[in-house]
Structure 1
Amino acid sequence: MWIAMMALSASLIFMMEMVGNRAVMPAAFFYGAAAGPAALLLAIHDRTRIGDSVPGTTLVGMFLFGGGVALLLGGYFDALLISEKDNPTILRVGWIEEAAKFVPLLAVALTGAHLTKPAGVALGLSCATGFAIMESMSYAWKSIRHDSAVEAGMVLFMRGLTTPFSHLAWTGLVCAVAFGVWQTRRRVVLTSAVTAAFAAAAVLHSLNDGLLILDLPGGVKLFFPVVAAVSYWLFHRATRDLEKATLSETAPSSA
């Protein structure tokens, strides 16, 4: 899926450069921005089947409106609390955006609906996907130079490689821990485990952005793949029990 969507995005950009038809630019940016998140969602569902735990309309709603609300809140507080992109205040972005993505999820949890770990992870990934796609598209638009979208295509390619190990992993980690606790307690409650998971996601998010944006020595920037690997490892570890549950449900019964 990732290869097919990135190839379609690149083909649309190539066609734009060849014939000058800019009408397809939004589609080119959407396919490029969605490639990484969509491929990861497919892989996670194939491993855990969490997409079956929530009605499809609810997942679509969280993708469209949860992601949009998160972008609204994150964009507002980013502008309010971050001075300049090359300033150390960029390290606040993880705390801001992880909180913004969690607001729509918390709103659903407080209703008492879908208060299970599989449902929470599915909803969290849907919200993070909506946020990540729209954020990637905004970066692509900023990268347009002299009516050329080639640089924007490169931005989308790089974000397609990294986004699955960032926004989706961070929000998925927080939801796996939080909804796991809430499923056991049968209510929304703040515990040390939930707080630790959120803090870990926020710190990893801030480190990710700091390594990408701040003017740091070249050797320090090599830690970016380490942050991505740790982010996904923590998410995968937090959702291993969902995979085991799926295997036990699909295993044939002995006669």
Structure 2
Amino acid sequence: MATPNDAPTGWIAPRPAWPVILGAGFLLWAATVVVTFVTANPNLLPTIVLLGSFLVPVTFASWAYERGHGAHVTAELLFLCFVVGGLLGVLGASLLEAYLVRPSPLMYIGVGVIEEAVKLAALMVVAQRMAHRGARDGMVLGAAVGLGFAAFESAGYAMTSLVSRSGLDLVALVETEILRGLITPVGHGVWTAILGGVVFAASPRGRWRFSVAALVTFLGVALLHGLWNSVHGIAIVLTLVLTGDMWQTRLLSVGYLPELTPAQAHLSTALDWTGLVIVAAVGVLWLTLLAAGNRHTPGTQGDSGHTTE
């Protein structure tokens, strides 16, 4: 059994890679944006989309790998979860949502259930051959699948924002990538990390098993996901309930969202961001408590990076 004392005298732990990835990646993305503005070269647009969409997810996947201390997680497995797991999740969610989701008050809850289910299925497919699994392994690999999903999803949003009625809108593309980069760390990666940790804990080796805790966790993260997607609509409804005129209230009562006044738009935006912060805080706190509870369980690693099994 390896221990921190087995390290040779003068051994220095490697520096974390994620700050380099984030710093260098951001400079390259910013340089590409500037050159594209100056030269109006459309051939650089795919580079902006790819760098902007994948920079933050890759950075946080690296951070999770370096800080998560999963005893049985290799760099190759992390890569497969990010790319293969993330892409399988996006494809599966697109198919199921196209056939199963219909406009309704619970539409976003349904989206949350579908996307968390397909991300979990993708994680299980990629990690099926792991001989040993621990809760912290599930958190690290679950985060990788969720962040991969977010990266591919953000690329889609970036491409959609780029195309406008008047042509290619580079400003809208940059704004979309900045916004998606800010919210990515507290979304898909957190939810799938929570679910992965609980499912892996119930299935330490061999066939997958689902405990009551795993089912409750799935419903919980799906609800968080659904609330995250619903926050914008909830903010508009709350704004109209609190400040709406009679005509706005009447339209709302028959299922229509009336146009907001400038003052109402500001209030709605404030409520929107407040809701996102609350949902994000719940998810991050949940993941933090789960990680703390499994910090010293068998099969995890200590701060030195050595297996304590």
Q: In 1, are the aligned partners of 2:64 and 2:143 still within 8 Å (CA)?
A: no
1 CA distance for matches of 2:114 and 2:199? 18
Taking structure 2 as the reference length, what is the TM-score of the superposition?
0.71
1:17 is matched with which residue: 25, 37, 42?
Answer: 37
Q: In 1, are the aligned partners of 2:101 and 2:107 still within 8 Å (CA)?
A: yes
Q: Please state if 1:205 is matched with 2:228.
A: no
1 CA distance for matches of 2:129 and 2:63? 29
1:75-109 CA-to-partner distances (Å, cap 9, x unmatched) read 1112223335x965133211110001011222345
Larger mean CA deviation between 97-106 and 18-27 belongs to 18-27
Q: Please state if 1:64 is matched with 2:83.
A: yes
List alignment gaps of at least 5 residues for structure 2: 1-18, 240-267
Alignment partner, residue 281 of structure 2? 229
Query: Between Structure 1 and Structure 2, whose CA radius of gyration is higher?
Result: 2
1 CA distance for matches of 2:115 and 2:294? 26
- Displacement after TM superposition at 1:171 (Å): 0.2
Alignment partner, residue 191 of structure 1? 211
Amino acid at match of 1:229: A
1:38 is matched with which residue: 46, 58, 61?
Answer: 58
2 CA distance for matches of 1:43 and 1:109? 20
Amino acid at match of 1:163: T
Alignment partner, residue 134 of structure 1? 152
Alignment partner, residue 100 of structure 2? 81
Residues 90-105 of structure 1: matches in 2 within 5 Å? 90-105=108-123
Q: Please state if 1:178 is matched with 2:196.
A: no
**Aligned-residue CA RMSD (Å):** 2.6
Alignment partner, residue 122 of structure 1? 140
Q: In 2, are the aligned partners of 1:166 and 1:232 still within 8 Å (CA)?
A: no
Count of residue pairs brought into register by the alignment: 248
- Displacement after TM superposition at 1:34 (Å): 1.9
Corresponding residue SS for 2:284: helix
1:160 is matched with which residue: 165, 181, 184?
Answer: 181
2 CA distance for matches of 1:194 and 1:138? 31
Q: In 2, are the aligned partners of 1:98 and 1:201 still within 8 Å (CA)?
A: yes
1:144-187 CA-to-partner distances (Å, cap 9, x unmatched) read 1321221111111111111110100000000111111222x865
Q: Compared with structure 1, are the counterparts of its residues 60 and 247 closer, same or farther at alpha carbon in structure 2 (3 Å cutoff)?
A: closer
- Displacement after TM superposition at 1:3 (Å): 4.7
List alignment gaps of at least 5 residues for structure 1: none
1 CA distance for matches of 2:99 and 2:132? 33
Amino acid at match of 2:67: R
Larger mean CA deviation between 118-127 and 92-101 belongs to 118-127
1:17-64 CA-to-partner distances (Å, cap 9, x unmatched) read 2211122222212221123222322333332333x6223323222222
Identity, % of aligned positions: 25
* Larger helix percent: 1
